[in-house]
């Protein structure tokens, strides 16, 4: 036997998002960056709030450097965890304690750790299409089996009947992502209530816990007065995976946390399983400077208004042109129906007009594309004539 | 089934190092920090070189913030990888390329990723006692089996005959850690040559690669003119796991890299397996600000002289008192023979004199303790009378 073939396979297949992004860079060098309309990546286009920079400088000026850059405890600095627990308490009314907070190297780490903490070999984890492609990788690496629940037509809300039909005695976890990547949909409180009722009934029926993992890097990115339910208030066996990547525009700094619901059955033991999973995967402590910075900036907000302007502009423009778009209440993605059955073929034709879109087959939904509108406003404005030509080419 | 019991077990057993450290904090609050001699943790006591702080400020002043804190490619920023490849080339004469460098969240991440990249279920990984306790966790999490090679008496160098006797057709990896935690020993070039010859012979005999994983966070911490062989120059199938934790005193920032030897059999495929393993474990990109900072500070050096003064002081003082110490050529640990067979009992008695030492049974060597001398010089000076009383208590 040679090296590990599963790892090789995961490393050698480039994601369609990355492939599109790399194509865009090459194309920009050929015809100029202003002529290419790259809507591929979910990389925040808005600067971090000014508090971040001020906080980094303050830390350098006030902290002893050895302590600032030194190890914190594996689960994170105790003062930082206290700030985060207090924040959850004051914002969502959950009786959170610092000893249920585990600081992580971002959302991917959080999910990977949670799944390794709760899943046993062969157990099932249900996700809702469309879903972030890496869920499959994390679930399978934790020894689990991914089960996909299909959404309601057009709205892309949870189809409660479909969800219920998928639960078996082997179901151990659910991953919920709202606001959703790639659809931009925020699941309604009614849907959340219905989902949690089923989970509570099924737990009782099967006599074992089913864990609800809430992946919420986009929590702060909602437009208008849309309400994003905090799942711990609806279901006790909830783990929240939070990341500051989007809320503070710090995706590269890899900083977030896992919060275990204090009302969870065996909450302390599950928290210890989180600690153990982090240890086994090689997560020792989250980056120490940015632990302090995010605690210091806990109330700071990124400029959501810029995203809202982009959202309105692209949603209205494409709808006016005749595209069928899902109403986006959150995140920075627009989910658009492909103009032909094969979304890959559609994205290929879009490239003829220098429009770089992501086909969503890999997200578990055929016939749709994702447009990341975390770009400059002028990119959107300048792309509209290209979108017009694209739809005309199908007439 | 409930949550994952293996993860729970890993999270609920506190390491003896952490336990000792926590005891020290409580004891300090009772009798005063200056009365407690805490030699438990391997946390650098020397400040980062001044270049680190200057570099952080420079990055904040010169970079666009969105780019500075944004995602790099999963394997790390291309410019950063180029700097590191050039550094390896110029220091060790290896024909390194940026496309064989993978930036990681520190040494634990590097090891975890490498083991998942090369091991298949049930394959064996040989480590050399005394060894860092977490090797067992990482190897077993990657599906492998840990095999422990016992060292030569007194010198704690590799016992080549013992090592050779442990290699089987099921051996897939070796982890080598020099300078060594917890012994402070640097393996000699003769030992390295003998080890690599055996590995080359065995690879030929079995017809499959055996990967040598060099865990070298302490590479820069050597005293006098001790030579630390760069393993890629002795063996093609080498992966180097490097961390800036000790060399730049940045343990909390979680920044390091994996370097795949360009002469490795199927080097490109193994590199892709590294990328895939990182992806599966949830490592998306290493912290972006500190990627830039370590590249910018690539030539900077921490104040090793402070550690050397500590080493000489504690080694000479304890030897003079009658303790049997292994000669420490690197890292910041002194490996001392316990004054009774049971190192745990010895450490317990040492606490009566406020000396906090770490018993090394968990490192695979019975009857020894580890003293981390990355403390202030005065801590060592003030501890000598306590060490004197401790040895007298055994007479």
3-state secondary structure chain B: CCCCHHHHHHHHCCCHHHHHHHHHHHHHHHHCHHHCEECCCCCCCCCCCHHHHHHHHHHHHHCCHHHHCCCCCCCCCHHHHHHHHHHHHHHHCCCCCHHHEEEECHHHHHHHHHHHHHCCCCCEEEEECCCCCHHHHHHHHCCCEEEEECECCCCCCECHHHHHHHCCCCEEEEEECCCCCCCCCCCCHHHHHHHHHHHHHHHHHHCCCCEEEEECCCCCCECCCCCCCCHHHCCCCEEEEEECCCCCCCHHHCCEEEEECCCCCCHHHHHHHHHHHHHHHCCCCCCHHHHHHHHHCCCCCCCHHHHHHHHHHHHHHHHHHCCCECCCCECCEEEEECCCCCHHHHHHHHHCCCEECEECHHHCCCCEEEEECCCCHHHHHHHHHHHHHHHHCCC
Q: Please provide the average confidence, as pLDDT, over all residues in chain B.
A: 96
Give yes or no for residue B113 having a pLDDT over 80: yes
Mean pLDDT of chain A: 96
Q: Do B8 and A249 touch (CB under 8 A)?
A: no
Determine the residue among B107, B244, B282 to mutate to test chain A binding: the one whose Cβ has the most chain A Cβ atoms within 10 Å.
B282
Domain co-membership, A68 together with A131: yes
Is the same domain home to A231 and A119? yes
pLDDT tens digits along B6-44: 999 999 987 888 889 889 989 999 999 999 999 998 889
Q: pLDDT at residue B242 above 80? A: yes
Whether B260 and B140 share a structural domain: yes
Q: Which of B278, B296, B314 marks a domain boundary? A: B296
- The answer on pLDDT for A61 being more than 90 is yes
Best residue in A282, A286, A307, A332 to probe B by mutation, most B CBs within 10 Å? A282
Question: Across the interface, do A4 and B252 touch by the CB < 8 Å criterion?
Answer: no
- Please tell me whether residues A357 and A374 are part of one structural domain: yes
Range of the domain at B384: 5-48+302-392
Inform me whether the pLDDT recorded for A21 exceeds 90: no
Check residue B352 and give its pLDDT: 97
Say if residue B364's pLDDT is above 80: yes
Contact A284/B249, CB-based, under 8 Å?
no
Q: What is the pLDDT of residue A13?
A: 86
CB proximity list for B303: less than 8 A, separation 6 or greater: B46, B47, B49
pLDDT band with cut points at 50, 70 and 90 for residue B208 = very high
A230-244: b (≥16 Cβ within 10 Å) or e? bbbebbbbbbbbbbb
Residue B258 bridge partners (DSSP): B102, B241
Is B112 in Cβ contact with A8 (below 8 Å)?
Answer: no
Query: pLDDT over 70 for what percent of chain A?
Result: 100
Cβ separation of A252 and B119 shorter than 8 Å? no
Q: From CA B370, how far away is CA B334, in angstroms rounded?
A: 6
Which phi and psi angles does A85 have, rounded to 5°? -60, -45
Shortest alpha-carbon distance between residue B392 and chain A (Å)? 36
Question: What pLDDT score was predicted for residue B22?
Answer: 84
Asked whether the predicted pLDDT for residue A360 surpasses 90, the reply is yes
Q: How confident is the model at residue B173 (pLDDT cuts 50, 70, 90)?
A: very high
Residues B232 and B330 in one domain: no
What is the C-alpha to C-alpha distance for residues B371 and B333, in angstroms, rounded to an integer? Answer: 6
Q: Are residues B60 and B178 in the same domain?
A: yes
- For A109, which residue in chain B has the nearest alpha carbon? B282
Task: Specify whether B87 is located in the same domain as B136.
Answer: yes
Contact B44 A52 (CB under 8 A): no
What is the mean predicted confidence (pLDDT) over B241-249?
A: 95
Judged against a pLDDT cut of 80, whether residue A14 lies above it is answered with no
Residue of A3, A251, A284 with shortest CB distance to B117:
A3
Asked if B113 contacts B278 with a C-beta cutoff of 8 angstroms, the reply is: yes
Residues of A in contact with B250 (CB under 8 A): 69
> B127 to chain A nearest CA, in Å?
17
**CATH number for A21:** 3.90.1150.10
Looking at the structure, tell me whether residues A220 and A80 fall in a common domain.
yes
Taking CA–CA distances from A144, the nearest residue in chain B reads B4
Asked if A286 and B254 come within 8 Å (Cβ–Cβ), the reply is yes
**Which residue, A231, A265, A296, sits at the end of a domain?**
A296
Q: How does DSSP classify residue A244? A: S
User: Cβ of A48 and B69 within 8 Å?
Assistant: yes
Tell me, yes or no, whether B189 and B312 share the same domain: no
* Shortest distance, CA B290 to any CA of chain A (angstroms): 8
**Closest chain A C-alpha to B81 CA, distance in angstroms:** 16
Residue A207 has pLDDT above 80, yes or no: yes
Q: Looking at the complex, report in whole angstroms how far the Cα of residue A324 sits from the nearest Cα belonging to chain B.
A: 31
Using only the alpha carbons of chain B, give its radius of gyration. Answer: 21
Contacts A–B by Cβ distance under 8 A: 257
CA distance A384 to B122: 56
pLDDT at B25: 86
How confident is the model over A277-318, as pLDDT tens digits? 999 999 989 999 999 999 999 989 889 999 999 999 999 999
Tracing tokens 């619901």 back to the chain, one arrives at A261
A296, A330, A357 - which closes a domain: A296
How many independent structural domains does chain A possess? Answer: 2
The total of other beta-carbon atoms located within 10 Å of residue B342's CB is 13
Band of the pLDDT at B355, cuts 50, 70, 90? very high
Q: Does residue B274 sit in the same domain as residue B190?
A: yes
User: Is B1 a residue whose pLDDT tops 80?
Assistant: no
Q: In chain B, whose CA is at the least distance from the CA of A77?
A: B252
Structure confidence at residue A339 (pLDDT): 97
Q: Are residues B59 and B175 both part of a single domain?
A: yes
Name the one residue in this structure whose structure tokens are 């849309």.
A226
Task: Mark yes or no for CB contact A53/B44 under 8 Å.
Answer: no
- A43 with A59, same domain: the answer is no
pLDDT of residue A195 exceeding 80, the answer is yes
Nearest to A251 among B71, B118, B269 (CB): B71
pLDDT in tens, B281-308: 999 899 999 999 999 999 898 899 999 9
Mean pLDDT to the nearest integer, A77-89: 97
In CATH, what number is assigned to the domain containing residue A179?
A: 3.40.640.10
Paired strand residues for A355:
A37
CB-CB neighbors (< 8 A) of A116 in chain B = 4, 7
Instruction: Report, as an integer, the average pLDDT of B37-66.
Output: 94
Residues in chain A closer than 8 A to B11 (CB atoms)? 271-279
Taking a C-beta distance cutoff of 8 angstroms, is the pair B209, B237 a contact?
A: yes
Distance from CA of A230 to the nearest CA of B (A): 22
Per-residue pLDDT at A213 = 98
B278 CB neighbours in chain A (<8 A) are: 11
pLDDT for residue A9 is more than 90: yes
Question: What's the confidence (pLDDT) of residue A17?
Answer: 86
What's the pLDDT at A8?
94
Interface mutation vs chain B, best among A9, A11, A145, most B CBs within 10 Å: A11
| DSSP type of residue A170 | T
């Amino acid at each position: 036997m040679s090296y590990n073939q599963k790892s090789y396979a995961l490393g050698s297949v480039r994601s369609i998002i990355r492939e599109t992004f790399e194509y865009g860079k090459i194309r920009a060098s050929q015809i100029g960056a202003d002529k290419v309309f790259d809507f591929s990546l979910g990389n925040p286009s808005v600067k971090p709030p000014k508090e971040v920079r001020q906080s980094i400088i303050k830390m350098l000026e006030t902290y002893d450097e050895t302590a600032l850059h030194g190890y914190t405890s594996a689960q994170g600095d105790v003062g930082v965890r206290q700030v985060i627990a207090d924040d959850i308490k004051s914002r969502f009314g959950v009786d959170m304690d610092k000893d249920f907070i585990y600081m992580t190297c971002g959302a991917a780490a959080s999910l990977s750790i949670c799944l390794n903490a709760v899943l046993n070999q062969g157990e099932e984890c249900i996700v809702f299409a469309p879903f972030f492609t890496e869920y499959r990788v994390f679930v399978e690496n934790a020894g689990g089996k991914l089960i996909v629940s299909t959404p309601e037509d057009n709205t892309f809300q949870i189809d409660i009947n479909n969800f219920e039909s998928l639960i078996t005695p082997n179901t151990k976890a659910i991953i919920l992502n709202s606001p959703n990547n790639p659809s931009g949909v925020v699941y309604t409180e009614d849907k959340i209530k219905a989902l949690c009722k089923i989970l509570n009934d099924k737990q009782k029926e099967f006599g074992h816990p089913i864990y609800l993992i809430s992946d919420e890097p986009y929590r702060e990115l909602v437009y208008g007065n849309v309400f994003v339910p905090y799942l711990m208030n609806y279901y006790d066996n909830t783990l929240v995976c939070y990341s500051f990547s989007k809320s503070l525009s710090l995706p590269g700094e890899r900083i977030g946390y896992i919060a275990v619901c204090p009302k969870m059955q065996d909450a302390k033991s599950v928290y210890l399983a989180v600690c153990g999973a982090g240890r086994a995967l090689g997560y020792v402590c989250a980056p120490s400077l940015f632990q302090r910075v995010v605690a210091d900036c806990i109330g700071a907000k990124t400029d959501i208004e810029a995203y809202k302007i982009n959202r309105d502009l692209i949603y209205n423009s494409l709808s006016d042109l005749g595209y069928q778009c899902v109403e986006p209440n959150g995140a920075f993605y627009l989910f658009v129906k492909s103009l032909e059955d094969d979304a890959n073929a559609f994205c290929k034709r879009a490239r003829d007009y220098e429009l770089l879109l992501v086909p969503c087959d890999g997200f578990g939904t055929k016939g749709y594309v994702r447009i990341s509108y975390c770009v400059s406003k002028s990119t959107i404005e300048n792309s509209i004539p290209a979108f017009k030509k694209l739809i005309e080419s199908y007439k």
